[in-house]
Every structure is written in C-alpha cells, then in structure tokens.
Chain A
Amino acid sequence: MAKRRNRIEIIRDILEVIRSKNGKAKPTFILYKSNLSHQMMELYLGEMIEKKFIMENREDESKRTFAITPKGLTFLEKYSTINAFMESFGLE
C-alpha cells in the first residue's frame, strides 16, 4: 500500500504539476495529475494561494488557471532540505 503523503509532499506534487505545464495549469489537469479528490485539491489550492505559492488567473468564469509564483519555485528548489528538516524533527 502506498505511503500516505503529508502536507509538504502534496504541495510539492501540485507545484510540480503546475511547473510541468510551463508554470500554468488548469484545475482539471492538476486534479488528474495530483491524485487528490476535488475537495482536497480545492482546499490545497486555496491554502497555496493564501501562502503565495501559486496565483489564480480568471479570464472568465469557465477559464481558471493557476500559475506558480517565485515563492513556489523556491519551495521546489529547497524541497529536499525542507522535507529533511520536517522529517528529522517530526514536524510534518
């Protein structure tokens, strides 16, 4: 059975999904690639917008995209250190 992902890992996975689409992705693509339920995905996207890891673009009601921010890119660059620290000290 696959190990359950922690918060940091899920944020990393979502950011990787968005980065893989040239830094901009639609919610359906993120949902498909991130292996989350719709409700969980919306929760995480909301948190990540609030924490400025991503930003939401709404061209109109049906065209919603999410773009990765510099803070989000830095998170990905430093991910292994963040994860190692959180794991060592049991902070996930």
Chain B
Amino acid sequence: MVIEPILFSGIDAIFSLFFALVALGLSAFSFRIYSLSDSRNAKFFGTGFLALSISYFILAIMDIFVLDGLVSNLNYLTQISPLTESFFAIMAFIASFTLGLSILAYTVVKVQKRSLFVLIFALSLIGIALSSDIAFSFFMITSVIFVFISASYFREYMFKRSKSVLLIFLAFIMLTLANIQFLFSTKNQMLYLTGNITGFIGYLLIFISLTLLMKNGQKEE
C-alpha cells in the first residue's frame, strides 16, 4: 500500500528512528512524572508512547530491509507470505502502533473505565485484521484515532489558552496529517515523503515541548 520514492529509500529509516527516540524520551519523562506524582494518567500516557516508540523502531528496521530488497516496497502486507519474519514484523508494527494510539485516546478521554480502552483497541485491531486491505484499514483507523486525539487537545487549548497546550495540539495535528498522507500515498508517491516530513515536524514540536519541560525541571533544582 505504501509506496516510497526510490530516492527516499533508507532516509525514511532515519525519520522512523527520530520518531522512535522522541516517543521513547516522552515515555521516559512521563514515567518519571508518574514516579513523582503517582498519576495514573501519566503512567498510561508513558505506556502509550512506549508502544508507539517500539512500533517506530520496528518500522525503522523494516525501512532498512527495504533497502536490502528483503521486503517488497509495494504493498508489504499482501505480497509476502504469512509465515515470514517480515509478516510478523509488520503485524508487530501494526499491533504496537494501534495499542499506543488506543492508550493515548483512552488517556485523553479522561473516563476512568478500562473497558473503554479495551473497546477502542479491540475494535481497531479487529477492523484492521478483518479487512481485505490491511494497510488501508490501518492508516484509516489510526487517522480517525489521531483526529480524535487532536480534537481533544483542541478543546484543551480552547479551555486553557496555554502556549504549551497549543504546541502539543499542533504536534498532534501534524501527526494526523502525516498519517492521512500515508493513507493516500499509493495514489501519489510524494505523499509518502511529505508524510514523513510532516510527522517529523510533529515529533519535533513534541521534542521542543519536552525540552522546555526539562529546562523547567532543571531550574527548580
């Protein structure tokens, strides 16, 4: 489903690694906040970004193997045998990415019912798994979840009118746009490239926010 321009081969792995490292950094910081405050939401948030980080690391490895020709760069999921390592890698990517997003969606909803998380995750995974075009369903469903999370941060910003919330809202808007671009990248190769660049901007905004928070923490000490 996802077709990358030849010139971009290998470079997408660098983007994926960047996404993985920022997500991992945010996860670690979130767990630190959890250790200080015992905030359940901070714990879930950290877990969500940890799952996303794992998915991006898997994606980076897959992007590297595309360069070696071990995995076809055309419609990964329909052109490979279900019993290959590539298939399991892609399934692991889809599962961990969906898990991470489901946890984030559950966290921003602020309803303390674990069954809601189970519902979001199960519906997403079933919708993806039972589709005849898994890649399309994956990007479609995750785009919907991204829109939901972005809308939640928009409401947060409208309520608080804070610059820090605006930064996070803009970050998630970028991530949503990136995901939508991947969804349509079969029609236009360049959307795969622009999707990665848009995602990079999103994670850069998160990285900036995290840096500002850590600077604030250093000032306290």
Q: Chain A residues in contact with chain B, CB under 8 A?
A: 7-8, 11, 51, 53, 74-75, 77-78, 80-82, 84-92
Instruction: List 21 A-B residue pairs with CB atoms under 8 Å apart, sorted by A's residue number.
Output: A8-B39, A51-B38, A74-B36, A75-B36, A75-B37, A77-B220, A78-B36, A81-B33, A81-B217, A82-B33, A82-B37, A84-B213, A85-B213, A86-B42, A87-B162, A88-B209, A90-B152, A90-B156, A90-B168, A91-B41, A91-B42
**Residue with the highest number of chain B CB atoms closer than 10 Å, among A8, A51, A89, A92:** A89
Complex interface: chain B residues within 8 A of A53 (CB): 38
Cross-chain contact of B33 among A11, A77, A85 (Cβ < 8 A): A85
Report chain B residues within 8 Å CB of A77. Answer: 220
Question: Which 7 A-B pairs give the minimum distances between C-beta atoms?
Answer: A88-B164, A91-B41, A81-B217, A51-B38, A90-B156, A82-B37, A85-B33
Pair count A-B, CB < 8 A: 63
Main secondary structure on A side of the interface with B: helix
CA gap between A47 and B147 in the complex, in Å: 35
| A-binding residues in B (CB < 8 A) | 29-30, 33, 36-39, 41-42, 45, 107-108, 152-153, 156, 160, 162, 164-165, 167-168, 209, 213, 216-217, 220
Q: Which residue from chain A places its CB closest to the CB of B152 in the assembled complex?
A: A90
Interface of B is mostly: helix
| A86 engages B36 (CB within 8 Å) | no
Q: Are A81 and B165 in contact (CB under 8 A)?
A: no
CB distance from A78 to the nearest CB of B (A): 5
Contact A90 B37 (CB under 8 A): no
Do A88 and B213 have beta carbons less than 8 Å apart? yes
Contacts of A74 in B (CB 8 A): 36
State whether B216 touches A84 (Cβ < 8 A). yes
Closest A residue, CB atoms, query B159? A90
Cβ B216 vs Cβ A80 within 8 A: yes
With A78-B217, A80-B216, A90-B165 known to touch, is A85 a contact of B152 (CB < 8 Å)?
no
Question: Which of B108, B168, B217 touches A88 (beta carbons < 8 Å)?
Answer: B168
Q: Which residue of A lies closest to B221 (CB)?
A: A77
What is the CA–CA distance of A80 and B212 in the complex, to the nearest angstrom? 12
Across the interface, which residues of B come within 8 angstroms of A51, CB to CB?
38
A8: which B residues are within 8 A, CB to CB?
37, 39
Which B residue sits closest to A92, measured CB to CB? B41
Q: How far is the CA of A82 from the CA of B41 in the complex (A)?
A: 12
- B217 with A90: CB separation less than 8 A: no
Chain A residue nearest to B41 in the complex (CB): A91
